[in-house]
Amino acid sequence: MTTLNASASPAARRTVRPIPQGRNRFERAMWLFMRFSGLALLFLALSHFGFQHIIVGTHRLTSEDTIVRWGLAGESITISQLFWRLYYGVMVLLAMLHGLNGLRQVAYDYLKNKTVYNAFMAAAAVLILAVTTMGVIALIVGVNASGATAAITR
């Protein structure tokens, strides 16, 4: 009795999902994507949180800071504004794909009925695509002056 749990095989004790072997290239690609996007999001999301909560403050979410950082629609864009738009662009794309694949794994485990699973995933994909589109449009176009002003003065 040198080790605890000696009866359990290493595979049975393993709870971290190993890289999928075999010919399923999609699953292997997604496995790698989850690790790499997760690592990137660790820095992106936590810096976004730190910035918004500690430096800006949550209660000024609709304030002028966003206009300064992103720039207004129709105006020429500075290097700093380009940086922030790329930062948020990368974050929204990685986060949405990471979330969609996470939902797929959860749904695969719990929704055993194939029709229910397909319907759920179709709805999730449409929702994620719609949200990603909104985020990307806002980043490409820039802040809408009249909309943002209405929100600030409200």
Partner 1 sequence: MQNLKVIAQGARYRGGNPMWSWLLHRVTGVGMVLFVVAHITASFLTQRFGSGAGMAINAVYESPAFQLVMYFCVIYHALNGLRVIILDIRPSLMRFQRETLWLQWLTFVPIYALAVLLILLRAASGE
Task: Give the footprint of partner 1 on this chain (CB under 8 A).
Answer: 10, 13-16, 18-19, 35, 38-39, 41-42, 45-46, 49, 53-54, 57-59, 61-62, 66, 92, 95-96, 99, 102-103, 106, 109-113, 127-128, 131, 134-135, 137-138, 143-144, 146-151, 154
- The nearer residue to partner 1, 14 or 78, going by C-beta atoms, is 14
Report in angstroms how near the CB of residue 41 gets to partner 1 at its nearest.
8
For the chain, the maximum distance between any two Cα atoms, rounded to a whole number of angstroms, is 73
CA atoms within 13 A on the CB side of 102: 11
Q: For residues 32 and 87, give the distance between their C-alpha atoms in angstroms, rounded to a whole number.
A: 22
- The nearer residue to partner 1, 82 or 134, going by C-beta atoms, is 134
DSSP codes, 31-72: HHHHHHHHHHHHHHHHHHHHIIIIII-GGGTTSHHHHHHH-B
- The nearer residue to partner 1, 43 or 83, going by C-beta atoms, is 43
Report in angstroms how near the CB of residue 80 gets to partner 1 at its nearest.
19
Report in angstroms how near the CB of residue 78 gets to partner 1 at its nearest.
19
Contact 88, 135 (CB under 8 A): yes
- The nearer residue to partner 1, 35 or 82, going by C-beta atoms, is 35
Report in angstroms how near the CB of residue 14 gets to partner 1 at its nearest.
6
Q: Name the 3-class secondary structure at 94.
A: helix
Q: For residues 94 and 133, give the distance between their C-alpha atoms in angstroms, rounded to a whole number.
A: 13
